Amino acid sequence: MKNNKIKINRYIEKLKPYKITSQDPWLFNKKDHIEKLDWNEGNYIPDFLKKEISHILKKNYIFNWYSDYTSYDLHKSLAKYIGVSINNILSFPGSDSALETICRCFIEPEDNVLIPTPTYENFTVFAESCGAKVINHELKSPYIFDINSIRDKIKEIKPKVVYLSSPNNPCGYIISPDNISKMCGEFQNVLFICDHAYIEFCLDFDCTKLTQIHNNLIIVRTFSKALSLAGIRLGYVISNNVNLQTLSKIRNGKNISMLSQLIGTSVINNIDKYNKWIEEIIKNRQMTFNELTSMGIRTYNSYGNFLLFEIKGATYFLGKIKKEQIYIRDKIISTNGGIRVTISSKSACNKFLRSVKDFIEDEENKFYF
């Protein structure tokens, strides 16, 4: 093949692709025996939803027609759940799509974008694809959000956008609504994007209502984590109507399938049925935290459905546990040695903990300690 003479967008050409984790679980015909603890998906499907999906699948128009471009019923249910106007809600086919659209609408070439790291790495890809100069503000272990250092950095580099992940992925720390509000109020020419992917696990720290006060705040949420619906690709943003009108200029509502809209609406209308599941995850998270620390493994407190921990021989451990068909997330480089594990059912957590204990006690592994 001759050399391609079509010039590539220079910002795309320079990008380092988002590093995905192993896709091995999709290679197995039988997946029930796999513990997929790498991408923080939930695994809870309540009985009401199984019945609802069965009913939805009988409607041919779900597949024959383009979906409702306005996502009206979904937005109406979300607005009632969140406690805001329907004009302050806008859905997307996943929160990644929302974050990418925000970048395309608000970031121009050479704009400074501030990202406290470690954090969700895909946002860097979205920002740099728009020509942004991404400045990472590295938080040191034990990964506690320091508002004063962030304020100083904002004053220094004068960013157009600041991306905040709260609860933070992968470190687990939370940013208080008070600190979010202080930053929005002090730096009114800066757009703050707050990624609330895991907020259902700590609703006391929900910053969503702050969008009614601060015009420079966009909250991003998802159905993928606490609501266990990563497979339907559904997320949404909350902000003032002017910001949402801007996003609507390039949002393609047809990309949110009618199947996803109907399932999402049903889930939000029955959100209380997820309370026990969320409580169980929080309980299992504490149990796993206690067990890991009792083994002498440094583990970071978390407000999400995951834990970041550091184990000697981390690379070797990842290989060993993968052979047992337990998949967890390698964050060794981004966190200077950390591994992230999704908190799931009690049986899944116990299976993971047994593997950790066996690894530590196995004489063959002493070389790595």
Confidence band for 365, pLDDT divided at 50, 70 and 90: low
Which 8-state DSSP code applies to residue 141?
T
- pLDDT at site 118: 94
Shared domain for 161 and 222, answered yes or no, is yes
Number of domains in the chain: 2
- pLDDT at site 5: 77
Say what the pTM is: 0.94
CB within 8 A of 2, min separation 6: which ones?
none
The answer to whether residue 291 is domain-embedded is: yes
The answer to whether residue 1 is domain-embedded is: no
Domain boundary among 272, 306, 327: 272
- Say which CATH number the domain at 289 has: 3.90.1150.10
On the question of pLDDT at 327 being above 90, the answer is yes
pLDDT tens per residue, range 181-221? 999 999 999 999 999 999 999 999 999 999 999 999 999 99
Shared domain for 208 and 114, answered yes or no, is yes
How large is the average pLDDT for residues 91-100? 98
DSSP H helices in 218-257? 241-248
Shared domain for 27 and 167, answered yes or no, is no
Domain boundary among 219, 250, 272: 272
The answer to whether residue 164 is domain-embedded is: yes
Shared domain for 231 and 319, answered yes or no, is no
Shared domain for 305 and 161, answered yes or no, is no
- Say which CATH number the domain at 73 has: 3.40.640.10
10 Å CB burial of residue 140 (0-12, 13-18, 19+) is exposed
Residue given tokens 């984590």 in the structure block? 225
On the question of pLDDT at 296 being above 90, the answer is yes
> Of 123-127, 175-179, 320-324, which gets the smallest average pLDDT?
320-324
Shared domain for 340 and 203, answered yes or no, is no
Range of the domain at 282: 10-46+274-361
The answer to whether residue 39 is domain-embedded is: yes
- pLDDT at site 6: 86
pLDDT tens per residue, range 222-246? 999 999 999 999 999 999 999 999 9
What average pLDDT is seen over the chain?
A: 93
Shared domain for 238 and 343, answered yes or no, is no
Shared domain for 117 and 215, answered yes or no, is yes
On the question of pLDDT at 332 being above 80, the answer is no
